Amino acid sequence: MSSLLFPSAETDGPRLKHPDASGRFGPYGGMFVPETLVTPLLDLEKAYREAREDPAFQEELALLLKEYAGRPTELYFAERLTKELGGAKIYFKREDLLHTGAHKINNALGQAILAKRMGKKRIIAETGAGQHGIATASVCAKLGLECVIYMGAEDMRRQSLNVYRMRLCGAEVRGVESGQKTLKEAINEAMRDWVTNVRSTHYILGSALGSHPYPMIVRDFHRVIGRETRAQILEKEGRLPDELVACVGGGSNAIGFFFAFLDDHDVRLTGVEAGGRGIQKGDHAARFEGGKLGILQGCKTYILQNEEGQIDLTHSVSAGLDYAAVGPEHAFYRDQKRIHFASASDQKALHAFRECARVEGIIPALESSHGFAYALERAKELSSDKILIVNMSGRGDKDVQEAARVMGEL
């Protein structure tokens, strides 16, 4: 089991050449941070590279993933949905079944035990909708670490239940009042805290984003999703799937899901961004459709911004996809035409949210529903001997009230 966590350079081959020594995925990624953060980031990279080679670290993480988070997650054949659509066979990878309700706990656990190993007893994190905050607060309770979560004041108001859940787990939740009072400002505040308290503190970043080494570390802790999927589909179908689909906010669930298949060129990989109310400035979060190359929060990548480099407002019905930048590794594989991108509108995501519940009795997170929106249409285009797997990155319990409000059903 433990050897499955981080397969060697031998089995993972050339894909592990990225990021390169300077933390870049081709022209993307890198370490665009204030001078004071360079040493802490390099220390983190060194500690991480040592940890991942250490069998004791791997065993500790493997046990926590199994007994605390609930891995492995099922690969579920959606038989009724498949029949109803009349095309490709559809499977769901059930990350929604994990403790705290989404894939985010894979990374929170990995980084928290890395922090302990580095002798850091205080954890900080940012959160938008609250999913990463809850995963981090839970893991800190479990491991006896002090925990401070930064959250935009506007997000705290919208997600008051999640704020309460974090506080129940012993975390201090600090509201951020600057700017739009949402995720971007919360990240700035967390970085400020980290600069000041770096000796005692580890910053658990929540997606495959930000400065090197975070995109690599977060990706690696989520690679378990794709490794399990690969073994499970080979067991169930005796062959690899034809297409994998995942929603892309920062890109952590998607890259974790895709990574084990990058060298399987017959497996199409599709990331789905938030198309919001439509692809007009301020109404969406589809960075590859309306974005330009730029630098945001430590990382060079596609960003929604104006001519002067001011960050655009973004919109999505799902808070977890509502961010102006996309993870650098996705930009890299998009250039190589290895990962394809699509977007799904709020309306299509809400339709998929409802269909999935109605036909399979499983309510996906609104984020994951963007992947389903694409998959519902795609499956119909494919013949019945094809196999399509959708990553159900999280469960929709957190979203039912918002979905009902938006669909006008309250």
Q: Does 393 bind ligand PLP (CB under 6 A)?
A: yes
Q: Which residues contact 343 (CB under 8 A, 6 or more apart)?
A: 272, 273, 274, 275, 279, 284, 286, 289, 370
Q: Which of 89, 93, 104, 398 is catalytic?
A: 104
The angle formed by the CA atoms of residues 300, 245 and 302, to the nearest 5 degrees, is 15
C-alpha distances out from residue 317 to 163, 293, 308, 355, 406, Å: 19, 25, 27, 17, 8
Which string of x and - marks every residue 69-108 that binds ligand PLP (by CB under 6 A)? ---------------------------------x-x----
Closer CB to ligand PLP, 177 or 397, in the complex = 397
Least distance to ligand PLP, CB of residue 92, Å: 13
Q: Does 252 bind ligand PLP (CB under 6 A)?
A: yes
Residue showing the smallest CB distance to ligand PLP in the complex: 394
Q: Does 253 bind ligand PLP (CB under 6 A)?
A: yes
Q: Which of 211, 393, 398, 402 is catalytic?
A: 393
Count of positions (residues) in the chain: 410
Beginning with the edge strand found earlier in the chain, give each strand of the sheet holding 299-303 in spatial order: 24-25, 28-29, 299-303, 292-296
Least distance to ligand PLP, CB of residue 83, Å: 26
Q: Does 368 bind ligand PLP (CB under 6 A)?
A: yes
Least distance to ligand PLP, CB of residue 363, Å: 12
Q: Does 131 bind ligand PLP (CB under 6 A)?
A: yes
Can you list the positions of beta strands (E) in 197-267? 201-203, 243-247
Q: Does 365 bind ligand PLP (CB under 6 A)?
A: yes
Least distance to ligand PLP, CB of residue 391, Å: 9
Q: Which stretch binds ligand PLP (CB under 6 A): 26-34, 108-116, 150-158, 241-249?
A: 241-249
35: how many CB neighbours lie within 10 A of its CB? 7
Closer CB to ligand PLP, 108 or 254, in the complex = 254
Residue 70 in tokens: 């609930």
Residue 72 is given by DSSP the state S
Q: What amino acid occupies position 72? A: P
Least distance to ligand PLP, CB of residue 295, Å: 19
Name residues contacting ligand PLP, limited to 11-70 (CB under 6 A): none
311: how many CB neighbours lie within 10 A of its CB? 18
Candidate residues 155, 189, 312, 367; the one interacting with ligand PLP per rule CB under 6 A:
367
Q: Which stretch binds ligand PLP (CB under 6 A): 33-41, 160-168, 237-245, 252-260?
A: 252-260
User: Is 104 annotated as catalytic?
Assistant: yes
Q: Does 251 bind ligand PLP (CB under 6 A)?
A: yes
Task: Match 């190589």 to its residue by tokens.
Answer: 336
Beginning with the edge strand found earlier in the chain, give each strand of the sheet holding 172-176 in spatial order: 172-176, 146-152, 122-127, 201-203
Closer CB to ligand PLP, 275 or 320, in the complex = 320
294: how many CB neighbours lie within 10 A of its CB? 16
Q: Does 297 bind ligand PLP (CB under 6 A)?
A: no
Q: Which of 126, 273, 329, 360 is catalytic?
A: 126
CA distance 244 to 364: 17
Q: Does 166 bind ligand PLP (CB under 6 A)?
A: no
Least distance to ligand PLP, CB of residue 368, Å: 5
111 HSE (CA, 13 A, CB side): 34
For the chain, the distance separating the N- and C-terminal CA atoms, rounded to the nearest angstrom, is 47
User: Is 126 annotated as catalytic?
Assistant: yes
Q: Which stretch binds ligand PLP (CB under 6 A): 141-149, 157-165, 363-371, 401-409?
A: 363-371
- How many residues form the binding site for ligand PLP (CB under 6 A)? 20
114-136 as b/e: b if 16+ CB within 10 A: bbbbbebebbbbbbbbbbbbbbb
74: how many CB neighbours lie within 10 A of its CB? 15
Task: Kindly list the residues in this chain that would bind ligand PLP in the complex (CB under 6 A).
Answer: 102, 104, 131, 207-208, 247-254, 320-321, 365, 367-368, 393-394
Catalytic residue list: 104, 126, 393
